[in-house]
Amino acid sequence: MKTVSNLDFDFGAWCAGHLHTVEQSLNAWVCAQASPHHDLSAPADLVHAMRYAVLDGGKRLRPLLVLAAWEAVSREASPTAPDLRDAALRAACATELIHAYSLVHDDMPCMDNDVLRRGKPTVHVKFGEAVALLAGDALQALAFELLTPEGDAMPVACQAQLCRLLSRAAGSSGMAGGQAIDLASVGLRLNERQLREMHRLKTGALLQASVMMGAACGGTSLGMREALAQYGAAIGLAFQVVDDILDVTADSATLGKTAGKDAHHDKPTYVSILGLQASRQYAQELHAQAMAALAQSGLRHTEALQGLADMVVQRSN
């Protein structure tokens, strides 16, 4: 079954509406960590650092992928299926909290030692290394707290599935494992297969998990899940290929982070291995793979997922 193209779909308006909802929710949930009962300043400083790390910046690609996948799948569900709208929003915010925590830790001197993120000083520059480390830890913990709310608003089975998807994407077989490979690869000459595997873990795993978490909130058939997993894998790798391209073609002001740092630190990238033009072509091939996966999914309303794939390969930062 082919996807249905809705000519009336306004991707810009769709993004704006969901971005507003995500931003409001993140603000409320991170703010809720502050307690008026603390007599010492450290907890307040910690919450300030958490808010600095996650609010008012970033593309919010991962939350948007969660919500787009949930919408596409839930529109195929039976009228009697449970409405897991709140679960999808919690999952969306949880992915962004995990992403934010990873950036805080990756920017620290013991990792990439970066001083600029989202157009402002990195968290360890602003608050010091100790507070930055704790802020990252707290953001990670908060992500899983969101996925396990009190009461019966979210079915226990859904909570478990979302926690499993997110933890696998963030752990040693996902983001953390990819970062370890990245650190160990400085100065080495990786081949394309090795580079692809590193980025599949470091960047792609959380992007793919975002798609699958959204699907988990809507209920899917095996065929739909497999197709969405292929879509998520393709855009996850495309995101990193474009990141490598932008690192050598854009300036720091446009990127909101330090440009040229991969070459400066002698890190293997798609540009260093394939060359600039071949990397651009590869990003387009991955985009085509993502579109083909959506066409094979059997889902009839994938306009938002299509728009997000376009955004991944066409972005300038």
DSSP string, 194-263: HHHHHHIIIIIHHHHHHHHHHHHTT---HHHHHHHHHHHHHHHHHHHHHHHHHHHHS-HHHHTS-TTHHH
Closest CA to 106 of 54, 168, 17, 175: 175
> Rounded mean pLDDT of 275-288?
96
**Would you state the pLDDT for residue 56?**
78
Tell me the pTM: 0.92
- 37 pLDDT tier (thresholds 50, 70, 90): low
> How many angstroms separate the CA atoms of 184 and 2, rounded?
43
**Would you state the pLDDT for residue 41?**
45
256 Rama sector, left if φ>0, alpha if ψ -120 to 50, beta otherwise: left
> Rounded mean pLDDT of 284-289?
98
| Residue 77 pLDDT > 90 | no
**Would you state the pLDDT for residue 250?**
82
What percentage of the chain carries pLDDT values higher than 90?
72
> How many angstroms separate the CA atoms of 51 and 31, rounded?
8
Closest CA to 125 of 140, 108, 102, 103: 108
What is the average pLDDT value for the chain, to the nearest integer? 90
Nearest-Å Rg of the Cα atoms of the chain is 19
> Rounded mean pLDDT of 40-47?
71
| Residue 235 pLDDT > 80 | yes
| Residue 5 pLDDT > 80 | no
Q: Which runs of consecutive H residues, i.e. helices, occur in 8-128?
A: 11-31, 42-54, 61-74, 85-106, 123-127
C-alpha neighbours within 13 Å on the C-beta side of residue 255: 18
**Would you state the pLDDT for residue 251?**
82
- Its CATH class, for the domain covering 40-314, is mainly alpha
Q: Which of 94-98, 189-193, 197-201 has the lowest mean pLDDT?
A: 189-193
8 Å CB contact between 228 and 211: yes
**Would you state the pLDDT for residue 17?**
97
Decide: helix, strand or coil at residue 48: helix
Euclidean distance between the first and final Cα of the chain, in Å? 35
Closest CA to 23 of 50, 60, 49, 53: 60
> Rounded mean pLDDT of 245-254?
84
> Rounded mean pLDDT of 278-299?
96
- 34 pLDDT tier (thresholds 50, 70, 90): low
- 4 pLDDT tier (thresholds 50, 70, 90): very low
